Amino acid sequence: MSEQGIGTSSIPAQQSVNFRDVDIIIDYVGNWPPDAMAAFDFAASIWAHHLTSTVPVRVEAEFAALPPGALGGARPFQFARDFNSDPQPLPNTWYPIALANKMAEEDLNPNGVDIVCQFVTDAVLAANGQGWNFDPDIPPAANEYDFATVVLHELAHGFMGGTSTVVSQFGVGVLGNGNFNGFPTIFDSFVIDCTNGDQLVDQPNNTIQLGNFLTNGNLCWGDENGNTNCMFNGNPSQLFAPNPFLPGSSISHLDDGTYPLGNPHSLMTPFVNTGEQVLQVGDLFLCMMEETGWMVDFTTGIEDELVIYEWPSLLNEGQNFEFRATFYDEEPYGDYINNNSHEWKIEPLNNNGFYPLLVTQSSMAWNYWPDQLPYLPATNYTWQRNPDGTIRTKATISADDNVGISHSDNVDIGIRFIPDQPELESDYLGCYEVKLTFYAPGATSYEIYYDTDPGVPYNGTGLPQGNSPITVSGNVNSITLTNLSPQYYFFNVRGKNSTGYSIYAVEEYELIPIEERDCGVVSVDECVAESLVILDISNVNMDDFGTVFIDLIRETEMATYYGTVGSTSIDLTALDQSMTFASGSDYVQIQDGNTYTVRMRYPLQGVYKLQEANFEVSNSLLCGRSSAGGPEDDVIGEPTPIVFEIVPNPANSFAIVNVNIPAKEAKVEIRVMGQLGQVLQNHALNTDNTKTSLDISGLPPGLYFVQLRLDNQPIETQRLVVSR
């Protein structure tokens, strides 16, 4: 029976799945057979049951060419140290990024993956008369390696990390090797001599003494005082510490002589055989993970499990909740749910608490039991709702087995409920226009009435829009009413979903006649997107040519532009005379004593001013979209997007970078960087170029980063995989 090593490795991907105690998002790189993905998902689900974290863990996995004798490898994508958490991490100590995220309760690497793994292809194994077994329900054949077993092992290295040590061919030991910059990992901090309790981190670095320590064959797991809860047969966890030192295997694994095949802790030894299947992590290694900072559930995973397998996903209020559940008893067999004194608990949860429903059931396997859900009011609680307006919650079933271990499962359920009463606000936009903004949790559409009568909105009295309501879909939360008149209005909005209607939200609003506001040179009502401004020049000092100077100004945070503001223009109309004041002009000839109506069109974003600019007078008026609260920027149009893509990806010797840069005067650069951020190539482009070729024939296979920079600032970074 042949034997293969299990080491450590990397890479990126494209398809994901989620689990429950911690979300594990798996990105599969390249072509993955469905049965291989199913086996990977199975192994990941075991870790998702064992570990708890509020931060999702992203894993990238691919089949790749590996060194001879290696079945697979995985490692943390990066490590973090001296971050903020409660409790605080050990100072000057590297933590694998998934663990650091869990302790910090935030994603410290939001744009990157957390674990990278690679596995040898089935074709490579076939060349040696071997292969993968992708079905975890069937033991592998004598010439097959069990894929789920290898994945389960490799993901452990991604979550836990390993040692930062190496021993040179001359016997010199190094702690914090390479990119660890002389600092230990959290794993290193728990390595001690089994006999005297001496710590690895206390040994002199870069010495033969450290080399001897790492290869003495007598290393265990323990803290600075030699203490640990991780015991087997009265002894602490024995680590693999052979002589000579084996990079990728030494220290980071349990000792294969102490925990041979058949031992419950054999998964985390450094070797696996054909025909071998180990689908449980073992409490010893889980205990080690817990002492480094992970929150570990020792009772879930592939072990005994309570499962809800049939339930209604959507209920009417007050409907019975009927479900079927069963208990799976895995090795070692003999456990069962206590039938005599068991209390089932169904908990429909919301954001502020839960309504418990206690049910006593005398029988366990393959049963269903109906019971009444309590009334679930929407008031005073913040419910999560589906797009169809239903309340979305969870039903949790908990049970204790005969040895007192608690098991649970939960399922999503929805409860049909009418929408809440809408929140309604009204804003006057000027020119007898009012904007209504509304929102009702659970609404899939809205009905709007505006009425001049204080009675119910559908009585046919004084409905400017007619007897039928204005209906908008649930993703529309505002409407602008135009051509109103100066009088009292009653605005009425109600939400609707498949269950029914909410009660009305009603707002009374009085529109009063517009009064012109004297601004010196200009008088105005309210400026809107295409603004109307009245220019009263009867009291303006004219120059010798009977001319008044007018500037159209667009203000930004950085500068003020006079005259030319894109394609902006002003039309002046007086009586039956019309003339245009172009945005690039300095003045327009207008007659003393007349009143002019000005229509301003401004497609560029900003706050505008119309300013009389005679030498003796300089008054101004804000002209942007305004409301009762004052003028606001008028945002018109969307910026042209930047296009940045790399093809092909993965690439072999050359890759094409396609770019499209709206800013034609920008300085454009393309950088190729290594995983540590070192710049390997730099290409300057002029903005007329739409593509450039990258010669990557000299780069070793692996993961690189290609960065687009404008004016020396990074804009976007993408991954590039170089393969041969």
Q: pLDDT of 66-111, one tens digit each?
A: 888 889 999 999 999 999 998 899 999 999 999 999 999 999 999 8
Sheet order of strands, 679-685 included: 679-685, 668-673, 702-710, 713-722
Q: Are 151 and 158 in contact (CB under 8 A)?
A: no
3-state secondary structure of 288: helix
* DSSP at 503: P
DSSP-assigned letters across all residues of 358-404: EEE-S--TTEE---BPPP---TTS--EE-TTS-EEEEEEEEEEBTTS
| Model pTM score | 0.46
pLDDT tens, 673-697?
886 678 899 888 876 666 788 888 8
CA proximity to 675, closest of 77, 72, 41, 73: 77
Q: Are 588 and 577 in contact (CB under 8 A)?
A: no
Q: Which domains does the chain have, with CATH numbers?
A: 24-162+272-283+292-302 (no CATH), 168-251 (no CATH), 305-416 (2.60.40.730), 423-511 (2.60.40.10), 643-722 (2.60.40.1930)
Between CA 154 and CA 598 the distance in angstroms is 72
Q: Which residues contact 628 (CB under 8 A, 6 or more apart)?
A: 427, 428
CA distances from 34 to 28, 126, 353, 582, 638 (A): 11, 19, 40, 65, 42
Between CA 652 and CA 248 the distance in angstroms is 28
Determine whether 528 is exposed, middle or buried from the number of CB atoms within 10 Å of its CB (0-12, 13-18, 19+): middle
Q: What's the pLDDT score for residue 246?
A: 94
Using the structure block, give the residue that is written with the tokens 């009653």: 490
Between CA 220 and CA 234 the distance in angstroms is 13
Q: b or e along 401-434 (b: 16 or more beta carbons within 10 Å of the residue's beta carbon)?
A: beeeeebbbbbebbbbbbbbbbebebebbbebbb
CA proximity to 497, closest of 313, 348, 316, 350: 316
Q: Are 605 and 634 in contact (CB under 8 A)?
A: yes
Between CA 577 and CA 597 the distance in angstroms is 11
CA proximity to 568, closest of 536, 595, 608: 608
Q: Are 642 and 661 in contact (CB under 8 A)?
A: yes
Using the structure block, give the residue that is written with the tokens 């929407």: 378
Between CA 479 and CA 472 the distance in angstroms is 9
Query: Could you tell me which residues are beta bridge partners of residue 488?
Result: 510
CA distances from 512 to 436, 487, 555, 631, 674 (A): 18, 7, 31, 20, 67
Extract the residue ranges of the chain whose pLDDT is less than 50.
1-20, 300-302, 332, 339-383, 459-461, 515-640
Total count of residues recorded for the chain: 724
Q: What's the pLDDT score for residue 660?
A: 77
CA proximity to 213, closest of 183, 237, 239: 239
Between CA 464 and CA 451 the distance in angstroms is 7
- CA triple 73-78-80, angle to 5 deg: 140
Q: Are 238 and 245 in contact (CB under 8 A)?
A: no
- Residue 51, both tokens: 């570990």
Between CA 724 and CA 720 the distance in angstroms is 13
Q: Are 273 and 2 in contact (CB under 8 A)?
A: yes
Q: What's the pLDDT score for residue 360?
A: 32
Q: What's the pLDDT score for residue 403?
A: 54
Q: Are 148 and 42 in contact (CB under 8 A)?
A: yes
Q: b or e along 687-698 (b: 16 or more beta carbons within 10 Å of the residue's beta carbon)?
A: beeeeeebebee
CA proximity to 210, closest of 157, 249, 163: 163
